[in-house]
Amino acid sequence: MTQQILVPIDGSENARKALELACLIQRASGAKLHLLHVPEPPPATDSLGARLGASALDYTSTKGREHGEQLLREARLSVGDEVGDVAYLVVEGPPARVIVEQADRLGVDTIIMGSRGLSDLKGLLVGSVSHKVSHVASCPVITLHEPD
State the helix-helix crossing angle for 129-136 and 95-106, rounded to 10 degrees. Answer: 40
Predicted TM-score (pTM) of the model is 0.84
**pLDDT of amino acid 77:** 83
pLDDT at position 4, please?
A: 95
Which residues are CB-contacts of 31 (< 8 A; sequence separation ≥ 6)? 1, 2, 3, 4, 5, 25, 85, 109
What integer pLDDT is reported at residue 136 of this predicted model? 95
Which long-range contacts (C-beta less than 8 Å, at least 24 apart) are formed by 59-63? 61/92
For strands 86-90 and 4-8, give the pairing: unpaired
Per-residue tens of pLDDT for the chain, all 148 residues:
679 999 999 988 888 899 999 999 988 888 999 999 999 877 777 777 667 767 777 778 888 899 999 999 888 888 765 667 889 999 999 999 999 999 999 999 999 998 863 344 445 444 588 889 999 999 999 998 766 5
CATH of the domain at 17: 3.40.50.620
145, 115 contact by CB (below 8 A): yes
How far is Cα 125 from Cα 111, in angstroms, rounded to an integer?
Answer: 24
Domain holding 16, by residue range, is 4-144
pLDDT at site 49: 67
State how far the Cα of 110 lies from the Cα of 104, in Å rounded to an integer: 11
CA distances (Å), origin 127, targets 26, 52, 65, 88, 130? 30, 21, 25, 26, 8
Give the β-pairing of 32-37 and 141-144.
unpaired
What torsion do the CA atoms of 133, 96, 26, 142 make, to the nearest 10 degrees? -30
Query: How many domains in the chain?
Result: 1
The whole-angstrom distance between residue 61's C-alpha and the CA centroid of its chain comes to 17
